[in-house]
Amino acid sequence: MKQIGYALLFIVVLFSCKKEKKEAKIITPEVIEEKKEPPVITKYGYVLDNFNVIKDTVRPGDSFGAIMDAHGITRSRVFEISNKIKDTFNVARIMAGKPYMLLTSKDTTQKAQVFVYQNNKIDYTVIDFRDSIMAKKRKKPVKLVEKTASGTINSSLMQTFDDLDLNFLVAYDMADIYAWTIDFTRLQAGDRFKVKYTEKFIDDTIPAGVDKIKAAYFEHIGKPIYAFRFEEDSINGAIDYFDEEANNLRRAFLTAPVKFSRISSRYNLRRRIKYYGNKVRPHRGTDFAAPIGTPILATADGIVTKSERRGGNGKYVKIRHNATYDTQYLHMSRQAVKVGEFVRQGDVIGYIGMTGNTGGPHVCYRFWKNGKEVDPFKQDLPASKPLSDSLRPKFFNHIEPIKAELDSIQFKPQEIL
């Protein structure tokens, strides 16, 4: 009897389990999608989502006042802003072609609140006039990238850099470094160079100029000239370039008053001058031909003794350097200095022109020694002092690995026409 009871109980349990299995539902877990917050975009220290953003470029004829007026700022407010920030930024000096960003309110007025002006690729000015008025000068983050380059001269340094697709600013800096030792108007086909420098980049990809040349090598007419950047005085930040024997490359006088020009006529006391009907007339200067408006540089420190226009000289400047030397620069389109002004070597003192007796744009560079006009290229001019004995061990340790790297750079061949 018990066995029958157990059997019935087993059947009941079995069927009830099957029924439960039949009625069981499959529950799918609910997938909850995580909402991603949009990234917060900031620029120049402002969350851009909080404003309407207007990016534009200053157009010819635009002014700060006109830009503000077009975006709801009254003239009285513009005057207040201009006056408040004048020590930081002169609004009258905004230039056509410069980019700017305007942040305006998101309400119906869309009134301007922040003006960001791009002074250059790196520097910018932020003018915030939401409540109180303030202006700040800022710089974009800059990445420095070390580079090397080499080349062989075909016609000119600039042309070689262009042919090799190198940064032309490096060529300008090299011309400055070697301005006392190499006459760049007389480069020879086959001259060659190597250079180690750092270049500036914004956002990793936008070139923003050359930071500095660390070392260079220039072989001119078979003569090698090294140049190593070295800080002589860390307190005053005195930095100069020296050769591998610690001699300063700087000289008392530059070899030319114009960068990348050519000598169209040399000092010659028996030259026949076409302008005067091919008559023999002494030419007591050296003519450097260049386009009108090219800057003319003081070849040495000194005091401006003359800045005037006179007869065949046209507009000219004369500089007294010391008790022995004077220099004179003729035929300028305009002068950039006044009598009594102290000028440094390399300062712009005027611009190439055609004033006075001249058949083409150039500067006639005259060199005076003890009151007599002489040929500057035949003078034994004073050199700068070499590096002090106390700094020489530090200098040689500094340049050893740099020179080894420079020497390992292979010259890029340049086809000589």
Q: Quote the pLDDT of residue 271.
A: 64
Residue 31 has phi, psi (to 5 degrees) of -90, 120
E strand map for 25-175: 42-43, 46-47, 52-57, 99-104, 112-118, 123-128, 134-139, 142-152
For range 7-11, the mean pLDDT: 51
Q: Provide the CATH topology of domain 141-251+383-417.
A: Nuclear Transport Factor 2; Chain: A, (3.10.450)
What tokens does 105 get? Answer: 């309110």
Apex 307 CA angle, 305 and 309, nearest 5: 135
Q: Quote the pLDDT of residue 371.
A: 92
- Tens digits of residue pLDDT in 340-360: 999 988 899 999 999 998 889
For range 145-160, the mean pLDDT: 91
Contact 71, 111 (CB under 8 A): yes
Q: Quote the pLDDT of residue 251.
A: 83
Closest alpha carbon to 116 in 58, 34, 178: 58
Q: Is a pLDDT exceeding 50 seen at residue 111?
A: yes
**Separation CA 298–CA 317 (nearest Å):** 10
Q: Is a pLDDT exceeding 80 seen at residue 402?
A: yes
Q: Is a pLDDT exceeding 60 seen at residue 10?
A: no
Q: 360 to each of 85, 98, 118, 221, 294, how far by Cα in Å?
A: 47, 35, 39, 30, 13
The CATH code of domain 262-378 reads: 2.70.70.10
What tokens does 395 get? Answer: 């200098």
Share of the chain above pLDDT 70, in %: 86
Q: Letter for the amino acid at 195?
A: V
**Separation CA 255–CA 220 (nearest Å):** 15
Q: Which residues of the chain are in CATH 2.70.70.10 domains?
A: 262-378
- Tens digits of residue pLDDT in 374-398: 998 888 877 777 788 899 999 999 9
pLDDT level of residue 417 (50, 70, 90 thresholds): very low
**Separation CA 275–CA 270 (nearest Å):** 15
Of 101-115, 255-269, 276-290, which one has max mean pLDDT? 101-115
Average pLDDT, the chain: 86
Please tell me which residue, 236 or 77, carries the higher pLDDT value. Answer: 77
- Tens digits of residue pLDDT in 13-58: 444 555 454 455 556 666 666 666 667 778 888 999 999 999 999 9
Q: Letter for the amino acid at 308?
A: E
Q: Provide the CATH topology of domain 42-139.
A: Nuclear Transport Factor 2; Chain: A, (3.10.450)
Q: Give the strand pairing for 295-297 and 272-273.
A: unpaired
Q: How many CB atoms lie within 10 A of CB 340?
A: 9
Q: Letter for the amino acid at 128?
A: D
Q: Quote the pLDDT of residue 416.
A: 45
Q: Is a pLDDT exceeding 60 seen at residue 9?
A: no
Q: How many CB atoms lie within 10 A of CB 369?
A: 14
Q: Quote the pLDDT of residue 7.
A: 53
HSE-up of 51 (CA within 13 Å, CB side)? Answer: 21
- Tens digits of residue pLDDT in 182-212: 888 788 899 999 999 999 998 888 888 899 9
- Tens digits of residue pLDDT in 293-329: 999 999 999 999 999 999 999 999 999 999 899 999 9
**Separation CA 161–CA 169 (nearest Å):** 9
Q: Which residues of the chain are in CATH 3.10.450.350 domains?
A: 42-139, 141-251+383-417
Q: Is a pLDDT exceeding 80 seen at residue 412?
A: no
- Tens digits of residue pLDDT in 59-77: 999 999 999 999 999 999 9
Measured in whole angstroms, how far is the alpha carbon of residue 10 from the centre of its chain?
96
Q: Quote the pLDDT of residue 183.
A: 82
